[in-house]
Structure 1
């Protein structure tokens, strides 16, 4: 997370001082959490209030990013790939592949309330594909 945040803040300055080639190579993977065939990588990320986390499906399997509704801070906005407003809606939609992220697809969410946010990939939940975002002030 910190590398991506640094690149976002220093992007144009880095180009101005002649590091555009090195920077271009780093910008190719501007996501915070990748999705392998069986897990989120990393499984846990720590960010600050106001930060945006980007997930990218880096595997050939379809995945979701679905918050556990009872495992996010009470005042927090719910999040799920597909834009669902509740965990039940995301799970119901999955039967028609709703919220599915294919290889290379991205999903992002900005976290405005501190706390722990646990989430899951619905089709791979039984295999343990779960993750967490820790949001600090």
Structure 2
């Protein structure tokens, strides 16, 4: 019984020690936006034209990155994990075979060439409010607005 008590305490201590290791906004990581159980972290990020944004699933749940087709600049290229060409195609693929799913540790990247505001969603967690924004600006410095 003492061994179980020790292992339980050691496991809890290890989890506590690691709790701060997943820094928000990808600081010190190889991604810009993390995906927690029900949120993009950060929910809003600002970059310059021509910059790539990398999302990484940092949770144990499957997620998607799916642009709202009517909430991106008209001249902009559509983006979705799974490389679907429309929001409807991404939604249909998710419903039929979990298309576009990013599992724990998976990444998705998109380069933003047109300035403006881009709204996106995680299809399976949309009802829980898992939405995010990328603001793309001409020139200047970029960075996470939540910093």
What interval of TM-score do these two structures reach, taking the shorter chain for normalisation? 0.7 to 0.9
Unaligned stretches of 5+ in structure 1? 1-25
Question: Partners in 2 of 1:117 and 1:93 — Cα distance?
Answer: 21
TM-score by length of 2: 0.74
Deviation at 1:27, TM superposition (A): 8.7
The aligned counterpart of 2:131 is 130
Deviation at 1:30, TM superposition (A): 1.0
The reply on whether 1:97 has 2:98 as its aligned counterpart is: yes
Deviations 1:98-128 (A, max 9, x none): 0000000000000000000000000000000
Unaligned stretches of 5+ in structure 2? 1-25, 139-147
Question: Partners in 2 of 1:42 and 1:35 — Cα distance?
Answer: 9
Q: How many pairs align?
A: 112
Question: Partners in 2 of 1:122 and 1:74 — Cα distance?
Answer: 22
Deviation at 1:88, TM superposition (A): 0.2
- Secondary structure of 1:59 counterpart: coil
Work out which of the two has the higher radius of gyration on C-alpha atoms and give 1 or 2. 2
Question: Partners in 1 of 2:75 and 2:54 — Cα distance?
Answer: 21
Question: Partners in 1 of 2:79 and 2:90 — Cα distance?
Answer: 10
- Secondary structure of 1:135 counterpart: strand
The aligned counterpart of 1:12 is none
Query: Residue 42 and residue 27 in structure 1: after superposition, are their counterparts in 2 closer, same or farther (change >3 A)?
Result: closer
C-alpha RMSD of the superposition: 1.3
Question: Partners in 2 of 1:86 and 1:28 — Cα distance?
Answer: 33
TM-score by length of 1: 0.80
The aligned counterpart of 2:64 is 64
Deviations 1:4-33 (A, max 9, x none): xxxxxxxxxxxxxxxxxxxxxx99621000
1:1-137 aligned at under 5 Å gives the runs: 29-95=29-95, 96-137=97-138
Question: Partners in 2 of 1:27 and 1:47 — Cα distance?
Answer: 15
Question: Partners in 2 of 1:114 and 1:129 — Cα distance?
Answer: 23
